Each structure stands twice: as structure tokens, then as C-alpha cells.
Chains A and B, each alone.
Chain A
């Protein structure tokens, strides 16, 4: 058997191989008259896919991660703020036993009481009685004013405590916000490093 002829048709032809070639040549591929009917694919879709293919995985993954991190951070901050506001309001409405009432409650005007009100809605018949009472009323008013100011003075430490608690909460919130921003910056920095590495790999091996 002529191995060269079998390999690349070089050298003296082998009779049996030639006979087989002639016999089997009738089964050889013949190009069809009509071209291959390829499925229609829109030019826009093709160009979009060609544009997306090399850049899709790393860049889109990084961008999506950043967006998710930012959304999560914003949501978390909003939740914290809502919680701190809700806690203050709850304390204002339902103060704990032993806790002094907050400032808004302390400064609420007292409800009107009949005998205390010197003028009120009095009938004309009671004018004499009322003039008799008027001699007593200033003392009562002075006494009531003194008791109110004493009550207000007693509530001052409670107001200060509430203000201090609120300012501490604001400070804690700001500290948490700063920590979150720092974490986001670190994440973004790391993602940038990963993207640079991926781009470097793609430049070295552009076919894959």
C-alpha cells in the first residue's frame, strides 16, 4: 500500500485506493442549487448582541452590584431614620412610668376650670357675688401662677433629657451613615480592581 498516496495523494497512485475513490466518488457532497436558508435575525438584535457579548458579564455585574448596594444602603438609612422618629413619637404619646413627659406635653395649656376663670360667662344676676369674689381672685391667680411656674421648673430636666437623647440618636445615625459610605467606597474600589483584572485578561485573550 502506498502510504503517501493515501495521506496526501502524493507519489505513485495505489490501484485499489484509486478504484475505491472512483467508486465512492459518486456519493461525494454536491453543492445544492439553492443557498442555505438561514433564519431571519434582525440587524438591531444582532448589533445589540455583538455589543453586549464582550462587555456583558463583568461590567454589568459590577454595575448591578453597585446599584444594589446603593439601594440597600438608602433603604437601611431610611429605616433607621424612621425607627428613630417613631421611637420619639411613641415616647411622647405613651411615656414610660417614671419618665418625665417631653416638652410638648409640658407646655400644653391647662384646661379651663370654672372657679379659676375670673371673668367667664357669668349671668347679670351674679354680678354682686362676682364682685365679692373679685377681692379673693387675685390671690388665687397669683397662687396658681406660682404653682404652674413651679411645675414648669420641675419639668426642665425632663426636657433636657429628651433633647440630649435626640441629639445622641442623630449622632449615632450620622456615624452609621459614615460607616456605610466608607463600606460602599471600599466595595467600589474592590470592584474596580476586579474589572481592571478582567479587562487585562480579555486583552491578553481577545478570542475567548
Chain B
């Protein structure tokens, strides 16, 4: 049984599920839906579970866009923002896509604010504590188009499978598959070009 399925069955037995709307049978709803409804009902522990489920996705989305040193702080920012605004989410089942959008917007906001304040040195990546080879591979992935780099980071860095990426981000499995295939093809070319220099 998948992790999501196990989480769902465990949740059905908790008190959080009692607060969920009774109109639809609980077994027809995803664990994320049950957790979101529990958070809306004031259950803070349920938000902790959502954090555990979605933190790798948010981390991957941010890592594909912002410097590695900033990612952890921004992950917390994204979840705090989501906690404050969760009552504005119309469909509890769309939590993953909604959270991914918050993370992307937060990354855009980060770059906008950074331009307004100061220019960071170009060799900052080399100065950080990250393994140089990993930093170089990540730099190459970041040169890919948005859709490809995000999917590749979730697959290669966060270790998620294609179906997991689709489930968390709200993308269709077919889109994720295409993005992975084309992105990997482009990355191989770039790696070959880099090694050929």
C-alpha cells in the first residue's frame, strides 16, 4: 500500500475525521482533503501532517528557482502563508496545486525583493557549503525551462517518483512524464556539452 493510502486509513480513525463534512463518505476523499478540512476546523496537528507530506514538494519547487541557502527559510514562509490563507482554498482536494502555486509566487517575490535590496555576488554558490558537483548540476538544471526544471528537481533531488510528483503538484501524470523525459534529454545534452569543454 502506498504512503498516501496508509496515511488516509490512519486518518480515518483519528478524531480529525470527525470534524470533516459528513455529506460525502470519508472513504471517497483523499487524505489531503481530510487533513485540509481538519485544519479548517482548527486542528493544528493536521497542519503538521500536511507539512510533512508536502514539504519535499515545496522544497523542490523553491530549489529549482532560488539559492540553496535561502530555501529552508522560504519553505517555512510558504507554509505559514498557506496556514493563514487556508480558509480561502475553495476545494480541499486541490491543496497540492494551490500550495505549489504559493511556492512559485514566493520564489518570484524573493527575486523581486532581492533586486530591490542588493545584488548578490555571482560566486555565491561556490562559497556555500554545498558539494561543488551537486551545485554545478543544479545550476545546469536551473537553465532548463520552468516546467522541466521543477519536475527534474522533484525527481532527482527530492527522490519522488513520477506518480508522486503528479499527485502532489496536481499535474496530470502524462504531463509529468513528458516533462521528465524532455527535461532529462536536455540535461544530458547540457552535461555532455559541459564535460566536452
Binding site for B on A (CB under 8 A): 1, 3, 6-9, 16-17, 20-21, 23-29, 31-32, 35-36, 38-39, 41, 43, 46-47, 49-50, 53, 203, 206-208
Contact = CB atoms under 8 A, between A and B. Distances in A.
B47 A38 contact: yes
A23 B131 CA distance: 8
Interface of B is mostly: helix
A39 B80 contact: yes
B21 interface: yes
A207 B83 contact: no
Given A29-B55, A46-B42, A207-B93, A23 B161 contact: no
Given A3-B181, A6-B181, A6-B184, A20 B156 contact: yes
B131 to A, nearest CB: 5
Given A1-B188, A24-B153, A206-B23, 10 more contacts: A7-B177, A8-B161, A20-B137, A24-B156, A27-B68, A36-B76, A36-B80, A38-B83, A50-B40, A53-B87
A35 B33 contact: no
Contact of A27 (B23, B83, B134, B180): B134
Contacts of A27: 63, 68, 130, 134, 138, 157
B51 A6 contact: no
Interface in B42-94: 42, 44, 47-48, 51-52, 55-56, 59-60, 63, 68, 72, 75-76, 79-80, 83-84, 87, 90-93
B133 interface: yes
A105 to B, nearest CB: 70
Interface size class of B (residues with CB under 8 A): 35 or more
Interface of A is mostly: helix
Nearest to B157: A24
A36 B184 contact: no
B48 A36 contact: yes
B92 A23 contact: no
B184 A1 contact: yes
Contact of B87 (A24, A25, A47, A49): A49
Contact of B21 (A35, A38, A46, A206): A206
Contacts of A3: 181
B91 to A, nearest CB: 6
B187 to A, nearest CB: 8
Interface of B: 21, 23-24, 33, 40-42, 44, 47-48, 51-52, 55-56, 59-60, 63, 68, 72, 75-76, 79-80, 83-84, 87, 90-93, 130-131, 133-134, 137-138, 153, 155-159, 161-163, 177, 180-181, 184-185, 187-188, 191
30 contacts: A6-B180, A7-B162, A8-B161, A20-B187, A23-B134, A23-B137, A24-B137, A26-B131, A27-B63, A27-B130, A27-B134, A27-B138, A28-B56, A28-B59, A28-B158, A28-B159, A29-B60, A31-B55, A32-B72, A36-B79, A38-B44, A38-B83, A39-B84, A41-B42, A46-B42, A203-B23, A207-B24, A207-B33, A207-B91, A207-B93
Contacts of A25: 157, 159
A29 B23 contact: no
A32 B55 CA distance: 11
Contacts of B42: 41, 43, 46-47, 50
